[in-house]
Structure 1
Amino acid sequence: MENKKGKIPAVFFDRDGTLNVDTGYLHEQEKLQWMPGAREAVKYVNDRGYLAIVVTNQSGVARGMFGEEAVKELHGYMNEELAGVGAHIDAFYYCPHHPEAVVPEYRQECSCRKPKSGLIEQACRDFDIDMEKSLMVGDSPRDVTCGEGAGIRGVLYEGGSLLELLKQYI
């Protein structure tokens, strides 16, 4: 679904509480539980020519609960699971920082921690994204604020089928 300028629209997904059940600092594959219609929603996005991009705060890294490698491994596993329904996430962006981190190298105010829009802005630098047609979908007002701060429409997911929600916008 490229437009005349060659730009591609994207759906930015929050992770915990939007794509998967928020079990609190999820980093273990065996604890991954998909939200209703989440895998189908990603496939729907893929099939319509949109990029599917995850933007997620992962302060468990800053809190010393797990390392960045665990985040990356979980994201790889999520894509393995999505492949089972013919879907995929094009890119995962995460913020490991927190201003009160116990791990010193992650203790900082940053532009990538939602509700700030740094993760979306980085994705837009990495991909030629059509901002006007893109969406940020998340289960928290901070996700909506993040999208709007980057100049894209924010959509609040309040439960139910994620696929049915997306069909209202794409």
Structure 2
Amino acid sequence: MFLDRDGVINIDSHYIFRPEQFEVIDGVFDALRRARTLGYALIVVTNQSGIARGYFSLAEYFTLEAHMRAVFAEEKINFDGIYHCPHHPDGIVAQFAIACRCRKPQPGMILQAACEHDIDLGNSILVGDKDSDILAAGAAGVGQSYLLDPPRFMLKDIILH
């Protein structure tokens, strides 16, 4: 199962990078536990253009990722992989100000994760909150994709029912 981060796992409060900004969406822990019992790997694929835009550093991103892993580990949930794209063609940080194949709607992160974790894309699911997530899933050949529409439709609605 491929999951976008901001808006799917945590509340999207616009370019979060500090651990105190990270707030898990209600029902996510139970949904991911259920996904695990159904046999899904848990893979996060997240655009993080705030790095290219200079809003936060790569080190700050990794600090938040470590915090996220710890929060979920306390709930006995471990991610099989977390993939991020730090790029944006309009960025101000030169090394990340590029067009790439990993930034959704491109399929790069999904394809890399599928290769590294031996995932059958046709039998996989992607859950996102933006059209770019769904387009990336289609480009990668992911079998099913779901576009969340909070507060009416959240991750727990897909997995728990």
TM-score range relative to shorter protein: over 0.9
Match of residue 98 from structure 2:
108
Contact 2:4/2:46 (<8 A) preserved: yes
Match of residue 77 from structure 2:
87
- CA root-mean-square deviation: 1.3
The superposition leaves residues 31-55 of structure 1 with CA deviations (integer Å, 9 ceiling, x where unpaired) of: 1111121122222222222110000
Unaligned 5+ segments in structure 1 are: 1-10
**1:161 Cα deviation after fit:** 4.1
Contact 2:107/2:137 (<8 A) preserved: yes
Contact 2:131/2:147 (<8 A) preserved: yes
Contact 2:44/2:83 (<8 A) preserved: yes
> What's the TM-score once normalised by structure 2's chain length?
0.92
Percentage of pairs with the same residue: 36
- Cα distance in 1, alignment partners of residues 16 and 139 from structure 2: 26
Alignment coverage as a number of residue pairs? 158
- Of 129, 153, 157, the residue aligned with 2:148 is 157
- Of 8, 15, 22, the residue aligned with 2:5 is 15
SS of the equivalent of 1:51 reads coil
Contact 1:97/1:110 (<8 A) preserved: yes
What letter is aligned with 1:36?
Answer: D
Contact 2:8/2:154 (<8 A) preserved: no
What letter is aligned with 1:125?
Answer: C
4+ residue runs over 3 A deviation: none
